[in-house]
């Protein structure tokens, strides 16, 4: 009895299954990488904190108030201490539980920090207020999660390296709302920090390079499977 055509053989079905699984994994990884990049670009194009009205409540514009002044005093006096890593969702959903705590975030600065005028406050009664002429405001993006934080820095830190990642220990003030460049009203946690420091390249997460390496490996594996399928098809016909 002659063997069935190669496309109907069990060998071809196995090769087809392997190829489909590899291509599906490849597509999923590329989609994930594309989603992360597009989310980061969307924030980069549309995020710029603005202050329009005074309020000390959450989900209101970032205008200096008494609580903000107290955090300025702590930051200027070097009393923030090391920060605790608090999930972004925890700050957004339960800000009262973390108010005035020092939290640690990592990410990249979107654009260039903007000069910010803050009203100096004395560190102690009778003392002159500290010089805050270098104060600036910036939006820090976590490029993996796509989440953003607004931060007042009393002085700029070292210029970010090529990979751009910084680490910030800042006191959480509140969840602020602001209008981005597209006119949308968005919200983000707001921190007050002394400065930022750089994250060494080897310590920064390499998610995108890892995805590129995996997808490249999958592409090579697909080519090898295709070549093997061609050889086996010729052997089947022989």
Strand 165-179 with 197-198, pairing: antiparallel
Q: Which two tokens stand for residue 197?
A: 């420091």
CA angle 41, 43, 48 (to 5 degrees): 130
Confidence bin at 119 (pLDDT 50/70/90): confident
pLDDT tops 80 at residue 46:
no
Domain ranges of the chain: 6-37+207-237, 49-203
Nearest-angstrom CA–CA distance, 166 and 196: 6
CB 9 within 8 A of CB 3: yes
Q: Is residue 86 within 8 Å of residue 98, measured between CB atoms?
A: yes
Percent of the chain with pLDDT over 70: 64
Task: Examine the pLDDT at 219 and tell me if it is beyond 70.
Answer: no
Min mean pLDDT across 132-136, 182-186, 211-215, 229-233 is at 229-233
What confidence category does residue 123 fall into, taking pLDDT thresholds of 50, 70 and 90?
confident
Q: Is 213 exposed, middle or buried (0-12, 13-18, 19+ CB in 10 A)?
A: exposed
Cβ–Cβ under 8 Å, residues 187 and 47: no
Looking at residues 16-33, what average pLDDT do you find?
68
Per-residue pLDDT reduced to its tens digit, 67-105: 999 999 999 999 999 999 999 999 999 999 999 999 999
CB 44 within 8 Å of CB 107: no
Lowest mean pLDDT among 26-35, 96-105, 108-117, 141-150: 26-35
Of 14, 40, 53, nearest in space to 139 by CA: 40
């Amino acid at each position: 009895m002659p063997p069935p055509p190669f496309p109907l053989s069990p060998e071809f079905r196995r090769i087809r299954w392997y190829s489909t699984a590899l291509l599906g994994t490849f597509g999923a990884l590329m989609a994930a990488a594309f989603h992360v990049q597009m989310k980061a670009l969307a924030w980069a194009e549309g995020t710029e904190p603005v202050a329009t009205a005074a309020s000390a409540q959450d989900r209101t514009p970032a205008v200096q108030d008494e609580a903000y002044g107290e955090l300025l005093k702590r930051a200027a006096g070097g009393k923030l201490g090391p920060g605790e890593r608090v999930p972004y969702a925890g700050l957004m959903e339960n800000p009262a539980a973390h108010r005035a705590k020092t939290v640690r975030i990592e990410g990249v600065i979107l654009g260039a920090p903007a000069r910010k005028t803050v009203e100096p406050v004395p560190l102690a009664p009778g003392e002159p207020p500290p010089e805050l002429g270098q104060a600036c405001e910036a939006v820090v993006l976590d490029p993996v999660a796509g989440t953003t934080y607004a931060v007042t820095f009393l002085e700029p830190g070292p210029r970010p390296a090529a990979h751009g990642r910084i680490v910030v220990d800042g006191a959480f003030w509140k969840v602020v709302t602001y209008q981005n460049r597209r006119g949308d009203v968005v919200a983000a946690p707001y921190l007050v920090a002394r400065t930022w420091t750089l994250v060494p390249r080897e310590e920064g997460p390499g998610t995108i390079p890892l995805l590129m390496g995996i997808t490249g490996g999958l592409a090579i594996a697909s080519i090898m499977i295709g070549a093997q399928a061609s050889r086996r098809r010729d052997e089947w016909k022989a």
